[in-house]
Amino acid sequence: MSTNSSWLRDRRRSGPPLSRLPTIHGPARGPDNQRSIQTPRFLKAFLQARRGFRVEKGENIWHYVHVQGRSNLYLLLGEAASLGGPPATWNDQGCHLAEAGSFAWGDILSRLTELGHQKSVLDSPEAPVLDPDGVDKLVLRGKYLAGTNSRGISLRGKKILRWQPKMPVIEDSLSDAIDVEAHLLGLSSVRL
């Protein structure tokens, strides 16, 4: 049995809608958990070593969504549930992907390195290539976070719920992400 088949079988039993995770970026609206996982983990490693890096060729593709855009999709799902279900789909049709586009991890990690150098928190604008095991020594689960592919198109969310990703694209959040991580590590006097 394929993974997809077993996943659908389990979804039929449990019923509620599911939103699959792309790379999530940007600040959250709530009081807790203001940061995502992938970019902050890599930035912490970059800032501590004062250099960036890429995972192999950096061609791994992921889709992304701003955390506030994702919460807008959840709001639409909650509103549909409170009205009895429609227009949202449920059970084996209940996978609602939230995505605003795609990117290659090599491009993002290279851009973070360039921006970090411009902000004088990294020593070089170059992002050398590391093998996956080398990345894992610097970033918890790094070879999976930026060395794999995770792709999915938001069809149901956009078509059925009329959800649209209106928040900034991932590239536009990188400079602020560097400021936040540098501030948390005490490397920057930037006021947040």
What does the DSSP assignment read for 66-130? EHHHHHHHHHHHHHHHHTTSTTS--GGG-B----SEEEEHHHHHHHHHHHHHHTTSSS-S---EE
Please, which residues have CB within 8 angstroms of residue 171's CB and are 6 or more apart in sequence? 103, 108, 111
Is 191 domain-assigned? no
Is 159 domain-assigned? yes
Instruction: Give the model's pLDDT for residue 7.
Output: 45
Q: Do the beta carbons of residue 27 and residue 162 sit within 8 Å?
A: no
Q: Do the beta carbons of residue 72 and residue 109 sit within 8 Å?
A: no
Structural domain total, the chain:
1
Q: Do the beta carbons of residue 128 and residue 54 sit within 8 Å?
A: yes
Name the pairing type of β-strands 61-66 and 23-25: parallel
Is 19 domain-assigned? no
DSSP letter (8 states) at residue 150: B
> Would you write out the chain's pLDDT as a tens digit for each of its 192 residues?
344 444 445 545 545 554 457 999 998 888 888 889 999 999 999 999 999 999 999 999 999 999 999 999 999 988 988 888 778 777 777 788 899 999 999 999 999 999 999 999 999 999 999 999 999 999 999 999 999 999 888 888 899 899 999 999 999 999 999 999 999 999 976 665
The CATH number that applies at residue 170 is 3.90.25
Q: Do the beta carbons of residue 127 and residue 45 sit within 8 Å?
A: no
Q: What is the pTM of this model?
A: 0.84
Domain that holds residue 56: 36-182
Q: Do the beta carbons of residue 47 and residue 122 sit within 8 Å?
A: yes
Is 143 domain-assigned? yes
Is 41 domain-assigned? yes
Is 59 domain-assigned? yes
Instruction: Give the model's pLDDT for residue 31.
Output: 85
Is 28 domain-assigned? no
Peptide bond into 22 cis (omega under 30): no
